[in-house]
Chain A
Amino acid sequence: SQQGEEDPQALSIQEGENATMNCSYKTSINNLQWYRQNSGRGLVHLILIRSNEREKHSGRLRVTLDTSKKSSSLLITASRAADTASYFCATDAIGSARQLTFGSGTQLTVLP
């Protein structure tokens, strides 16, 4: 079963707007990671946030983690057409032997 579940499944915004994607999970984690996938390509790692961290930034990306609610969000600010891709959260659950469990992803479309 999927550990992380993203919301919404699809998001369409105008260039320059912010995009927010949410992820919920079920078990205790070592860390939570966000990945991006362009159509037909492999996944690219964006950000890893540890269970003892609450917020992390990388360029235009901001990730938050609320372990009490078992949820995370990914914010992309000032979006660009090139940000169009699928975004996945993945959880590294405690006791999982460092495997990742991926959600089904959010398809983000940024319109020029």
Chain B
Amino acid sequence: SQTIHQWPATLVQPVGSPLSLECTVEGTSNPNLYWYRQAAGRGLQLLFYSVGIGQISSEVPQNLSASRPQDRQFILSSKKLLLSDSGFYLCAWRRALGNQPQHFGDGTRLSIL
């Protein structure tokens, strides 16, 4: 069976510090991968998606970046965090072809001080 791991679960960072959130998927190959941000009480905003190694599409201009160094690894980064980067970050995967659901990790609660 397939599983998705996302860590850390919570993170408190000062403004201006760097960020690295990691997401890994097990039990499947060549998944589509996604990073979302969710503000409190709101829906999900798609930040980045990837259809293959090294292939990243950005949906929202911001000071965040994403990388996919391996088939089942997706990393969300920032060189200098802003207060507005606070939120709940979710990683998801889906099979590449056909009508498929997305499967989510448990999320990272990021607080910027």
Residues of A within 8 A of B103 (CB): 45
Asked if residues B94 and A98 are in contact (CB atoms below 8 Å), the reply is yes
Residues of A within 8 A of B102 (CB): 33, 43, 45, 90, 100
Asked if residues A33 and B101 are in contact (CB atoms below 8 Å), the reply is yes
Asked if residues B42 and A104 are in contact (CB atoms below 8 Å), the reply is yes
Nearest residue, chain A, Cβ from B104: A42
Which residues of chain B from 25 to 57 have a CB within 8 Å of any chain A CB?
32, 34, 41-44, 46, 49, 51, 57
Is A2 an interface residue when CB atoms closer than 8 A count as contact?
Answer: yes
Is A41 an interface residue when CB atoms closer than 8 A count as contact?
Answer: yes
Asked if residues B99 and A88 are in contact (CB atoms below 8 Å), the reply is no
Instruction: Give, as a whole number of angstroms, the nearest-CB distance from B31 to chain A.
Output: 11
Which residues of chain A from 58 to 112 have a CB within 8 Å of any chain B CB?
88, 90, 92, 97-105, 107
- Which of A2, A42, A98 is B32 in contact with, Cβ under 8 Å? A98
A-B contact list, 29 entries, CB within 8 Å: A30-B99, A31-B99, A33-B101, A40-B88, A40-B107, A40-B109, A41-B106, A41-B107, A42-B90, A42-B104, A42-B106, A42-B107, A43-B44, A43-B92, A43-B102, A44-B104, A48-B100, A50-B99, A88-B43, A88-B44, A92-B99, A97-B51, A98-B32, A98-B94, A100-B46, A100-B102, A101-B46, A102-B44, A103-B43
